[in-house]
Structure 1
């Protein structure tokens, strides 16, 4: 994909305006051209990465929901290890903490062809510890998703002002040149004004695509962040259901033992 700035720069009128700019105007135009290259590279790279993260997160969530076995089942652990999505990372952190309380580890279970580790009763403090790990990992993943989007936001705000500075400077120099030459005809003024306005065009060419790209990326990040929050809640809800089954099994075991004693 060719950045819009290169398309604009290749037109004859832009080339004429650039030729009639002074060193300050040319410097600002080149600077904005470089910024445009960076913004497009960030938008393309980040867009591809976010698309993959969203796709892989949806895939893992679907596998998580269809797998009705324990949270620590070998199938889920292997799926998370090969998925690499933000949601899978949250699952990994949560299940690692859970297995710590179950006196086991994910490496042993994921390489096992048997059933998952047998759950044990968790205390309220252990619940809170797992929840804290999930919340912390959600925040960390959201920060990872937002990396380099601040650069786009900055360029959206700053680029038009770079262009404005170049335009004001160019117009000022054009009028100073006319005053020094003692001529006030339009043909003497036009080249300088054309060069001055070029920086405004360059600033807008950088800012407009950056704004569109920034809005698209932030919308995608919000979608993924919602996935992360929902998955964290679903993980805790599923853990509570497993713990209810553990409590029920313990109660039935105690009842059976009491009946045998009688």
Structure 2
């Protein structure tokens, strides 16, 4: 197999959570363009349908599953639907998540817990469900954040804690499932990208961070999606347990 062929996903099935908007849509499009069929999961059925249409326009198949990743049962149902529809699961992109910016002295237990349940617990339940049916050579990519590695001047205790937890979870699942199951588990830590989340920031906030971005700009969704495709592909076949920061150098500035 040539180097370029290693980046193809023909006859492969990729599950993307959080596929109704933002970076999840970019991931779905990238894998479809690489030849994969997609199982698209999120809580918003109408927006999932839009993503599915985009996938099908590339000539690939798409199946949508309304899923709340905080429920282990719904994560299992998501993977069952993938098996029923396509007969296999080769890649899981654990992208579902929420972000908050609440000062620590004002954050309620409910607010903190809701972030942890989606960002950390949901990642675990989806990975657990997928790994139960995956064959050797499969891959799980957990989407964490550079805020699991550094700070960015916003009060994000819950979000940062959850994303740091995903990094630890990634390492442990990699060591549990690498030898026993032949599944690679890695994480990608995005910096700041054009998305629904960054569109909500106050004017001037992203500009204030640019001195810490060694490349002097925020990223584009395609730049992040390309890294995720590589990490899920056979081209990264000897990479596991790693967290790859895709942040324009911000985490080392």
TM > 0.5: no
Larger helix percent? 1
Q: TM-score, normalised by structure 1?
A: 0.22
TM-score, normalised by the number of residues in structure 2: 0.23
Higher Cα Rg, which structure? 1
Report 1 or 2 for greater relative contact order, CA contacts < 8 Å, sequence distance ≥ 6: 1
Structure (1/2) with the larger strand percentage: 2
